[in-house]
A and B are shown apart, each in its own frame.
Chain A
Amino acid sequence: MLSKAATGIQGLDELTGGGLPSGRTTLLCGGAGCGKTLMAMEFIVRGALESDEPGVFMAFEENTGELAANFASLGYDLKALVAQKKLALDFVAIERSEIEAAGEYDLEGLFIRLGCAIDSIGAKRVVLDTLEALFTGLPDNVILRSELRRLFRWLKERGVTAIVTSERGERSLTRYGMEEYVADCVILLDHRVVGQIATRRLRIVKYRGTRHGTNEYPFLIDEGGISIIPIRSMALNYKAGTGRLSSGVAGLDAMLGGKGYFRGSSVLLSGPAGTGKTSLAGHLAHGASKRGESCLWFTFEESSSQIIRNMRSLGIDLDAAVRCGLLLFQAERATTYGLERHLATIHKMVGQFKPQIVIIDPVTTLSALGTALDVKAMLTRLMDFFKSRGITALFTSLTLGGSPEEATDAGGSSLMDTWLLLRDMQSGAERNRFLTIIKSRGMAHSNQVREFLMTDHGVELRDVYVGPSGDLLAGGAREALESEEKAQLLMRGQEIESKDRELERKRRAMEAQIALLQANFEVERAEVAKTIGQDQLRAGVLAGDRIHMAHLRQSHPGTKGKKPQRKPGGVS
């Protein structure tokens, strides 16, 4: 197993699987201004401070005073390190104009100086920056080459981990073919300008005996030194959260399975200008602050006060969230830096602020900073970074009008978990906004188009009407339809009421008739009863008369004289 000396440089140790090969020499090559000296110095300083390995920095181009001044701006106090015997600086001045050649020579002087410096502090690390100065300053390349070969061998024998920097050549890695001498590790730095934006990149050309990333990795130099952000998306091993997070808009939460976004997911909000992307983002930030969650908002097109003012017109007060420290705006013009610097800024800010939610508004402005491939790689890295930290990320993406669905790839839509599409459509004499969920991984979500309304109490989502010809009705058309329906409802209500009344009237008439019939019946019944009574009376009277007559005639008393009687008839 190859032992490695950690560089302490952010990202480089990850790329190299632990650092540079320990006890061997690494060649660091690149053109002017691509950060060779800085990277080499950072290796020495971090080695001295973090790995307890003192180092020698032998400079051929800058004197020790210049070096100390240059690195003071990065927060490295070289003089203090020298005083603590953790660092030895040696400036080798080669004045070509002073030098004349007269015969054979060797570089024993350089070896002696280097040996002295190493011994004076017990150095484990050595930097020679840049050895090419020897070629321009000293005569006879044949001697130089054999001496360099000896130097690299000597460094190996001393067991120091060394970096030799070298200028980039036109056809070869280095101008003087230094790569011939260094077998173990070669790192190439590059500084390219594409579309007016300069990007530094690093590539490990070779690293004997170790597995390493072979791509070009953007890196940047800021006040903290060098940082390289490798694409770690190769390992898709972050944990997917199941918690939910309100979007801040009740209607949208309802569309998203009633609960909102997944925590730790990435959300893309795409749409043309003026469809309410930032407003929807503002709702998310506002909702977060009300729950006591923190939100970091990167804005590339508007200033923070502009966003706060605009959101206030929707009845949303972001200022309060900013004041209580739950919302932080980071406003920067996208074109100020290259992609990798934006990425690093985002990394750094997220590391410091530790937000639960990050808003990038709009992510599409970054696409002007590199090729589509670069931007996609950056987005991938961003999303991985957020996901590995469980941060919910909202990206807004500006699309051009026309075909909004097709024009969103700059937003990395395929990488997103949830994709909301905002659209505006003209109908009649007005433009209306609509929202659809194109996808939302892992949850039941509405497939309906909703009208997106901005009111003075925030964003509202309304159901849309489909007109008779199949087109969406929104805004004025929807309102017209709504009022028409209202009128129809009213009319129908009135109809029913009048029908009710008619029925009631009929019922009353019927009841009145029933009462009349009943009364007639009563009258008749009474009359019948009266007739019966009279008949009975009459019959009784007749019978009495007959008995009386018989009695008078004296004929067969008790047996005869009773005539069969006719019963009085029924009701007439």
Chain B
Amino acid sequence: MATTTASEKPQRSARAQAFADFCKRFARNKGAVVGLVILLAVVLLALIAPLLYPASPWQMVQRPFLPPMATEGFWFGTDTLGRDIGAGLAYGARISLIVGIVSTVVALTIGVTIGALAGYYGGYLDDALMRFTEFFQTIPNFALAIVLVAIFQPSTTSVIIAIGIVSWPPVARLVRGEFLSLRSREFVQASIVLGQSNGHIITRQILPNTLSPVIVMASLMIAQAILLESSLSFLGLGDPNTMSWGYMIGAARTVIRQAWWMSFFPGVAILLTVLALNLVGEGLNDALNPRLARKGR
């Protein structure tokens, strides 16, 4: 692929070559590949949920407390009201992924903006923004998320916003650090001399160079967000109209001794998804920061 385009568009070829290198380095981490496969499986499950289970996951379809494998078509058993655990798992994957991704986007938007401004301009603005960031960092994540959701009334939107709000400070600190080190490099100095505007320098010159660590962090943040969402739902602070894994475990908690499968399967689903995201994050780290990664080996 790289060879055919190389002669015509040298720039694209360089990118393609970089991408191939990236893939190779990523593939070298076997764990990351396994993680990616699991993750793709979860995404696929979320996408085809309505095809697998045309009925709503809330629908009471069989008698309650049916153990797994006991009846054809109900491989994961049923819950206290006779709802299909399998349907819950499939639809729960959707909400977990949506919340994980959207809240991470929210957190990145806040974190990158604040980090970039603080790191680029420095001085009083940096001080002010960093004190503001520290203020958020001193409050325990989960406690703050509970308070926010309780204030805004539990719904998917409020859960996403709450998770976004509690997860941005590390991003801000990371981006600020990158900006601080890149700001004094020659290519930035050159841009200033060329008379490029601050906005242009931030978004076009420095930001693209900070992306690799941010991408790695983002993949781990999605995992974190899924865990947070599950914990909130477990405590009954999730959207009461959306089936989620955390809700399923929370509802199963009181009957755990009669019906282990009700909490076991969603628990495994959360475990696998979070594990997969962490493995992928590690693989990305290896692929994007080859020098660091080699040092580790």
Our verdict on whether A and B bind, yes or no, reads: no
* Interface residues, chain A, with chain B CB atoms under 8 Å away: none
